[in-house]
Structure 1
């Protein structure tokens, strides 16, 4: 099975999303060794990916305009 571009975005950033969730939930543990190939997420790229995913879901009737609306600066803080 071939991933769609949207699935690939999610797959590529699975660990990052998990880290962001851990940050939001304040359940992160100390990382003792960096992983090879890790890159910082770039705000603009993240927002483009989120918007593309939102548009995809909206086109399928699986999300409304409320999906992925930013609340406060939590995401920006996590990416900093």
Structure 2
């Protein structure tokens, strides 16, 4: 899946998981000016066991609508 990274803005929010380490957040700023704060997270430097997560972002499924191949998910 691709994300429109040009809509993401770094946030100061962080969360810590003992297993995966520190999660950093992005907020989304839509072209119409609408903002969604801290709705995307990622692990910049996860633990070695989770290192494959380093190049991915995750969205709060409860807070966003997701479409795959033109069909809404949920």
TM range (shorter): under 0.3
| TM-score normalized with structure 2 length | 0.22
